[in-house]
Amino acid sequence: MSIKHKGLKPQSKHKHHTFQRDLTAPTLTLLTIGGIMGSGLFLASGLAIRSAGPVILIFFGVAVVAMYFEITALAEMSVATPSPGSFLVYTEKVLGPGWTFVSGWIFWFSSVLTMSSEVTAAALFTKFWFPGVALWIWSLVYSALIIGVNFLSVRGFGTIEDVMAGVKTLAVALFLAVGIGALLHILPASAHTHLSMNPLIDITAHGGWLPHGWLAAAPTMLLVLFAYAGTGVIGLAAAESKSPAKVIPTAVRSTSIIVFVLYLGSIFLILSLMPWNRYVPNVSPFTIALKSVSVPGAAFAMNLVLLFAVLSTMNAALYSNVRVLYRLAKDHQAPPWLGKLNAKGQPAFAILASAGLLAFTIGLAYALPKQAYAYLVTATGFQAMFIWLMVLLTQLKYRPYLQKHHPHHLKYRQLGFPVSTILVMVFVIMAMGFAFLAKGELVGVVVGIGVIGLTWAVWILFGHRIIRHHGAG
């Protein structure tokens, strides 16, 4: 089947649609950053800082290394076998349909939960300017906006995501510049803030690195890892890249460097500009940190950035989850109509199905108490880390498979394999285990495990039918 740059060509008298291959390395980089950099950094990091203290800076450093190896593991497989189903295609090849079914549905459900948390955050940020407008109105407006964007052509979608992800990336870079200016006393500090000439003194001035001890700090690792979730778009976009062997490695390198600098730089400055014990839940630590600097309009500008940030993450999450749903349908693990593409090469029915569950979860989120965000983040983070484990486990099996059957496809390789893959898996499992010790977040952990268990139960009960249909197909 031939693929035109700006359209589709039918193979016969019947129209067969396929994904467009329009994504470039810069677009894929910004799309991936858009999927990663969301409320996990801008909001959930405040929960982690409050619970763990300054040691959270070390946690973010370790987690970014884990993210690098996870994303390179996914990139290795995606370059070897570009597919709109990403790791699910490789999982089925080496682990079987059961793991594919569970991983795919967990990925989809986790992505929808991420979307619901991001759109709720967007509505809250908009309330800064329009306090009299009900939150559900803004949620519907933003949901309709993001769903509409995903119905554009791949090139149009990529352009809009470029803008949104670019805005928040630039804004975080400006936050770093303002923070560094304050630490160097180039910019004036606010009246109630005192910054010493040694940031490490400011960071550890209130109880040292571990003010609450290890038992309080360790559970926050899941929140930190959640801030790095969203890497799956690298693999899911492989089939829509102009040249996967060139585009994906370039995007991985660029994404890793940018995320490393922006994340660690931001957390360092947040801890330096304001004592860790002044950060409160449900308020962005970026906004609180800017109170230490006397810059007119800083709160307004940061609020605007936060709005772009969460919408960009929501946009990337929808892009990812509908392509997983498409893959599940193609493998007879979801209704077949979810695997149909429209004339523009988009999985239209999969987009609408995700939108339907999004509307349902938004309604549930507003019915829950104030702790809903913490519960949602923990449940989503738990499921996101389950997907990381599936990606890494698949790579452990897929690399030997490629070396045996298709060695010429291994054009891009993860460093340190298999030791690096195994170490990241151990680290992720430890973070998930420590989450059980988190105060006030046990509900989220139970929900996360419960959904995984329920998905396995569905497979055990109905998996034989899926296998039969798959074989017939």
Structure tokens at 306: 């936060």
pLDDT for 197 equals 62
pLDDT for 62 equals 96
Distance CA 165, CA 32 (A): 9
pLDDT for 397 equals 94
Distance CA 194, CA 70 (A): 40
Instruction: Report residue 361's pLDDT band, with 50, 70 and 90 as the boundaries.
Output: low
pLDDT for 60 equals 96
Q: Going from the N-terminus, what domains does the chain have, and what CATH number goes with each?
A: 25-407+414-467 (1.20.1740.10)
Structure tokens at 111: 């992505």
Chain length of the chain: 473
Range 249-254, long-range pairs (CB < 8 A, 24+ positions): 249/75, 249/79, 249/412, 250/25, 250/29, 251/25, 251/28, 251/29, 251/32, 252/71, 252/72, 252/75, 254/25, 254/26, 254/29
pLDDT at 5 over 50: no
pLDDT for 470 equals 54
pLDDT for 68 equals 95
pLDDT for 171 equals 82
In the three-class reduction of DSSP (H, G, I as helix; E, B as strand; rest coil), residue 3 is classed as: strand
Distance CA 472, CA 208 (A): 63
pLDDT at 222 over 80: yes
SS3 breakdown of the chain: % helix, strand, coil, rounded to 5?
A: 70, 0, 25
**Residue range 140-161, pLDDT digits in tens:** 888 888 888 777 655 555 566 6
**Residue range 165-217, pLDDT digits in tens:** 777 788 888 889 888 888 887 877 665 555 666 677 778 888 889 998 898 89
Distance CA 279, CA 80 (A): 45
pLDDT at 383 over 80: yes
Q: Are 203 and 1 in contact (CB under 8 A)?
A: no
Instruction: Report residue 131's pLDDT band, with 50, 70 and 90 as the boundaries.
Output: confident
pLDDT for 439 equals 72
pLDDT at 12 over 50: no
Segments in 127-243 forming alpha helices (H)? 135-149, 154-183, 199-203, 214-217, 221-226, 233-236
pLDDT at 61 over 90: yes
**Residue range 395-445, pLDDT digits in tens:** 999 999 999 988 898 888 999 999 999 999 999 999 999 988 877 667 778
Mean pLDDT (whole number) for 291-318: 79
In the three-class reduction of DSSP (H, G, I as helix; E, B as strand; rest coil), residue 8 is classed as: strand
pLDDT at 258 over 80: yes
In the three-class reduction of DSSP (H, G, I as helix; E, B as strand; rest coil), residue 293 is classed as: strand
Distance CA 339, CA 329 (A): 5
Q: Taking the CB of residue 40, how many other CB atoms lie within 10 A of it?
A: 27
